[in-house]
A and B are shown apart, each in its own frame.
Chain A
Amino acid sequence: MANIKITIVAVLSFFFIVIISINSHNVIAEDVLLSKEDFFKIAFGEDVPRRKGLRFKGEVKEIAQKIMGSNYKKLRMKYWRQDQKTAWILERIGKVELITAGFIVENCRISSIHVLVYRETHGWEVKYPSFRDQFVGISMIESFKLNKRIDGIAGATLSVNSMEKMTRLALAMNSLVPEINCK
C-alpha cells in the first residue's frame, strides 16, 4: 500500500516538474493581468492614437494633487485620445504595492477600467469583473468626486480606495484635455 502511495507521489511530482519546465519560458513576472498593447486594443482597436500629455502644472497639477495627495508628481499626465474617448494608464499603491490600472473614458463617463498589473498578495477582489463593472458609466460630480460610491469586500478596502482615486483622476484629467468637451 505504501509502495503504491510513493509511486503515485513520484509520478505526480514528475509530471509537475515537466509542466513547470515546459512553461518556464513563459516568464510572467509579478501578476501582469493585461498588457498595455492589449489594453490599447480594447480601447481603440487597431488604430492606436499617438501618446499625448497634459503638462503637470497649474490646474492639472492642482487637481491631480487634490485627488492623489500632495506627493503626487509627474512631468506630464499622459493620455491617448480618439475623438471624445481617452485612455489613461495610472498607478497607485494599494496597501504596500503599486497597482497599475487602465481607464477608458468616453463622453466624460467611464467606459471601462482594467487592472493591468496587480502586485499585492491580498485584495484580489479588484481583479474580478464584478468589481470592475461597478465603474461602468460613472462620471464626476463637484469636487472631483464620483457620482456613485464604490465598494469592495472587507479586506480589499485599500486596493479599492486606490482604484477609486485613480478613477477620479482619470475623469478629472479627461475633462482638462483641450479637445474634450464635458459640458
Chain B
Amino acid sequence: MRIVLIKYITAIDSDSRSHLEKGIVIICLLYLVKNIYKGDTIMKKSFQIIAFLIAGLFAWSVSADEVSDLKDALADLEERMNDLEDSAEASGAAGWWTKSAIGGYGELHYNNKSGTGTIDFHRYVLFFSHRYNDSVSMNSEFELEHSIAGEGKAGEVELEQAYIDQNWGEYGLPNTNMKYGLFLIPCGITNEIHEPPTFYGVERNVVEKEICSNTRWEGGFQGTHVVPEWDLTIIAGVHSSLTTSDGDIRAGRDKVASATMNKEAYTGAFRYTGAYPGLELGLSWDYEPDMNEGQKGEQVTGKMWAVHANYMPSRGFGSRAFYGIWDLTCPAANRSSNQCIENGRNEQWGYFYEGSYRWDVTETQSMGLFVRRQEWDDKAGTKNATTTKNNITLSSFGVNWWITDEAVVKADWGRKKTFGSAAVQEFNMGMGYSF
C-alpha cells in the first residue's frame, strides 16, 4: 500500500493534478499517519515515518506550485479588472455642449430716497463660456441693465467680459493665465466679484463704485500668476484707458465701445491670503498715462492706489474694508479742454469699513446682519472760488436672507450726508441670484 502510494505520487507531475487526485493523496497520508502508531517494530515504525515524510514533501511542493500559479493568475485578473474599471468610469468622447457652460446673475432693486421710491431690475447677466482644450477657454458676460434698452429707454445692453483665457503651463510657466480681450479691472473687491449673494446691502458700496469706477472693464491683455507657496496672486494688464474731460473717474469709462485709444493704461493687483485662513489682503494700482478726453494735446496723467481687506466666512463674523486714492496731474495749460485742474478732481479718495454676522436658519438657509460706514470725496483737490468740497458720508445697516447660498433677499437702511446739504434717509429692498 505504502510503496504503491509513493510510486503514484512521484509518477504524476504537477500539471495534471486534479482535486480528486489531491483528495486521494490526503486520504492515503492520513492512513499512513494512522498506521505509524500501529507498527510492531521500530524498523517498521521508522520506515513508515520516512514514507510519510516523503509523501508529505511531494504533496506540499505540489500545493505550493499550484498556489503560486493561482496567485499569478489572480494578480493578472486584478490588473485587467482595474483597467476595465478605469475605462468604464472615464467619460467618452463628448459633444460641444459638455465643454460649454452658461451661468448668470440678476438683481431687482426697490430704492426709496426721502420718500421717493423707484423699482428697477437693475441687472440681468448671462455668462457663456467654452473650453476648447486643457489650456484654452473662452469666457464672456452679457448684461441687460434696467430691463429695457434702446433709444430713450432707461436700460443698456452691455458686454462686460469677453476674452480668451490661456493657461501658460504648456510654455513651462505653470500657475499663469493670460486673458486676451475684454476683461474686468482688478481694483478692490467688488469690481470683479459682484454677484448679489456675495455682498451685503441692496446696492454695491458707493466708495468702490467711485474709486474703482465699478463696474469697469477694458480691452487688452491681462496676466494672472499664482504663487501657491506664498498664498499670493499677482495680476497685471495693459489695456484701454479711462478718458474724461473733467476728472470724473466713473464717467471716464469708455466700456470698449468704439472708444478712443491713443494711449494705453496699466492696472494690476496683489492678493495675499496667507495672513489668516479666509482673509484676503489686496493692493490694487492703476496708472493712466493720458486720461484726457480724446487723448490729444497735453496729457492728464492719473495714478490710483487702493488697499482692501476681505473676510467673509459663510457663517459667523465677517468684515470688509477698503481705502483708495486718485492723484491726477492736471496741467494748468489744459484748462480749456480739461477741467480737472480747477474742480478739485485732481485728488480723490474714499474708504469704507463694514462688519457683519451670518448664521444658520435651516440647513440650506442663512441670514446675516451688517453695518457699514462709507466716506468719500471726489473733489478733494485744488478748487476754484465756486467749487466746494464734495465730502459724502453714508452710514447703513441691513439684513441679507440667503434662501439658498446663491439666492438672496435683502433690505437695508441708510443715512447719506453730502457736505453742505441736509442728510437724506434711504431704504432699499431687493432680491438677487446667481448660478
A residues engaging B (CB < 8 A)? 19-20, 22-24, 26-33, 51, 53, 74-76, 78, 95-97, 119, 121, 124-125, 127-131, 133-134, 149, 151-155, 157
Residue of A nearest to B179 (CB): A121
Contact B277 A130 (CB under 8 A): yes
The 8 Å CB contact of B172, one of A26, A33, A51, A153, is A26
Contact status of A31 and B167, CB under 8 A, knowing A153-B278, A154-B193: yes
The 8 Å CB contact of B177, one of A20, A23, A121, is A121
The 8 Å CB contact of B134, one of A20, A119, A154, is A119
Contact A151 B171 (CB under 8 A): no
Contact A121 B165 (CB under 8 A): yes
Interface size class of B (residues with CB under 8 A): 35 or more
Residue of B nearest to A93 (CB): B101
Chain B residues with CB below 8 A from A53, complex form: 85
The 8 Å CB contact of A154, one of B82, B167, B312, is B312
Give Cα distance in the complex from A95 to B434, angstroms. Answer: 12
Contact A151 B278 (CB under 8 A): yes
Among B134, B139, B315, chain A packs the most CB atoms within 10 A around the CB of: B134
Q: List 29 A-B contacts (CB under 8 A).
A: A22-B172, A29-B134, A29-B169, A30-B167, A30-B169, A33-B175, A51-B82, A75-B85, A78-B85, A121-B137, A121-B139, A121-B177, A124-B226, A125-B280, A127-B175, A127-B226, A127-B228, A128-B231, A128-B274, A129-B228, A129-B231, A130-B231, A130-B274, A130-B276, A130-B277, A151-B277, A151-B278, A154-B199, A157-B314
Contact status of A24 and B231, CB under 8 A, knowing A97-B131, A121-B137, A155-B198: no
Judged by a CB distance under 8 angstroms, whether B273 is at the interface is: yes
Give Cα distance in the complex from A75 to B84, angstroms. Answer: 10
User: How near does chain A come to B91, taking the closest CB pair, in angstroms?
Assistant: 10
Interface digits, B133-156 against A, CB 8 Å rule (1 contact, 0 not)? Answer: 111010100000000000000000
- Give B75-119 interface residues, CB cut-off 8 Å to A: 82, 85, 88-89, 101, 103
Contact A149 B82 (CB under 8 A): no
Give Cα distance in the complex from A31 to B169, angstroms. Answer: 7
Judged by a CB distance under 8 angstroms, whether B173 is at the interface is: yes
Judged by a CB distance under 8 angstroms, whether B331 is at the interface is: no
Chain A residues with CB below 8 A from B229, complex form: 129
Give Cα distance in the complex from A4 to B313, angstroms. Answer: 51
For the complex of A and B, list the 7 residue pairs with the smallest distance between their C-beta atoms, beginning with the closest: A23-B172, A28-B169, A30-B134, A151-B313, A29-B134, A128-B231, A151-B278
Contact B314 A131 (CB under 8 A): no
User: How near does chain A come to B354, taking the closest CB pair, in angstroms?
Assistant: 13
Contact A151 B280 (CB under 8 A): no
B residues engaging A (CB < 8 A)? 82, 85, 88-89, 101, 103, 129, 131, 133-135, 137, 139, 165, 167, 169-175, 177, 189, 192-193, 198-199, 226, 228-229, 231, 233, 273-274, 276-280, 310, 312-316, 405
Give Cα distance in the complex from A51 to B82, angstroms. Answer: 9
Give Cα distance in the complex from A26 to B193, angstroms. Answer: 34
Contact A153 B310 (CB under 8 A): yes
User: How near does chain B come to A149, taking the closest CB pair, in angstroms?
Assistant: 6
User: How near does chain B come to A112, taking the closest CB pair, in angstroms?
Assistant: 14
Chain A residues with CB below 8 A from B199, complex form: 154
Contact A149 B314 (CB under 8 A): yes
The 8 Å CB contact of B135, one of A30, A51, A74, A151, is A30
Residue of B nearest to A120 (CB): B137
Among A30, A121, A129, chain B packs the most CB atoms within 10 A around the CB of: A121
Contact B170 A75 (CB under 8 A): no
Give Cα distance in the complex from A157 to B231, angstroms. Answer: 17
Among B85, B192, B278, B405, chain A packs the most CB atoms within 10 A around the CB of: B278
Chain B residues with CB below 8 A from A24, complex form: 170-172
Among B129, B137, B169, B175, chain A packs the most CB atoms within 10 A around the CB of: B169
User: How near does chain B come to A38, taking the closest CB pair, in angstroms?
Assistant: 14
Chain B residues with CB below 8 A from A152, complex form: 278
Contact A32 B82 (CB under 8 A): no
The 8 Å CB contact of A23, one of B85, B173, B175, B193, is B173
Give Cα distance in the complex from A131 to B233, angstroms. Answer: 14
Chain B residues with CB below 8 A from A31, complex form: 167, 169, 174-175
User: How near does chain A come to B270, taking the closest CB pair, in angstroms?
Assistant: 13
User: How near does chain A come to B386, taking the closest CB pair, in angstroms?
Assistant: 42
